[in-house]
Amino acid sequence: MSLAGGVPPLAPGTEPVPGYEVLAHLTRTGWLDVHDAWSTERYCRCVIKVVRPDRRGERGLGARLLREGRRLRGLSHPHLVRGYDVFGSPEPLVVLETLTGETLSHLLHRLRRRPSATDVALLGVQLCSAVHYLHGRGLLHLDLKPSNVVVERGHVKVLDLSVARRPGPAPAGLGTRGYRAPEQTRVGTLTPAADVWGIGVVLFEAACGAGPWEPGGSGPQYPARPAPVSSLRRLPRALASAVDGCLRVDPTRRPGVAELAAELEAALPSPVRGR
């Protein structure tokens, strides 16, 4: 199988830094290689992220990776991936915990049936928990999407803080097309409401099997208003209202994270609440 860029990743058996051995190449993104690795210190498997060999000379990518690693190493939350180590040389490298679940994007593609309304609400509650913690640490995630969420037996972990930043002025285009909030598409000020939008898009896709801009597949054309979730899936009224509330084009009209979490909790059957 050919890889984007044409330059091979680290080979199995390579020790990119002392104490870590590459076991296999997992995936290649637009600018990163992700490897399965072994930690001799922890005596367990882990994940190593490095800048792709063909992109190492590009300004800012190494710093971006190191910034993400340092942030994750300083965070501790049950719904966030853990950061273990950060190395600046010989090349920028970040070590993360190994997660044994599957990404939400893979799970949604694999399932023959759409997740139940209860599962969608539980997903939202856990996303709110992670995002609330990040916001309390002064960070916006800004790239919430199914491929950045890992699920294992109903337990959710959020990945990838590579574009995370503090609230305030920001350049246009942060995050992934189709998931970024309208205000992320232009130069301006970003607030926690941008992540509320991200949660809403993830829940919409989990519930309906497509984003609020489907059919068409070309992504959002702002300032168009996204379709209500009820146009693709019948959900309990409280849950549908919570999802639709996240996707208000005006960020000042979206619920806060704590308010959203309460709405999603209220949509759960009473025996499930408080998990």
SS3 track for 204-222: HHHHHCCCCCCCCCCCCCC
| Per-residue pLDDT, 93 | 96
| Per-residue pLDDT, 221 | 56
| Per-residue pLDDT, 22 | 97
What is the β-pairing status of strands 83-87 and 93-97? antiparallel
| Per-residue pLDDT, 211 | 87
What is the β-pairing status of strands 32-39 and 20-28? antiparallel
| Per-residue pLDDT, 271 | 60
| Per-residue pLDDT, 45 | 96
- pLDDT tens digits, residue range 177-204? 999 999 999 999 999 999 999 999 999 9
Does pLDDT of 219 surpass 60?
no
Q: Which of 143, 160, 195, 244 is catalytic?
A: 143
Query: Where do the domains of the chain lie, and which CATH numbers do they carry?
Result: 20-97 (3.30.200.20), 102-266 (1.10.510.10)
Is 119 catalytic? The answer is no
| Per-residue pLDDT, 119 | 96
- Tokens matching residue 167: 């609230």
**Average pLDDT, stretch 137-152?**
97
- pLDDT tens digits, residue range 6-62? 789 999 999 999 999 999 999 998 899 999 999 999 999 999 999 999 999 888 999
* Residue (of 81, 36, 88) closest to 65 by Cα position: 88
**Average pLDDT, stretch 227-254?**
94
Mean per-residue pLDDT of the chain: 91
Does pLDDT of 121 surpass 90?
yes
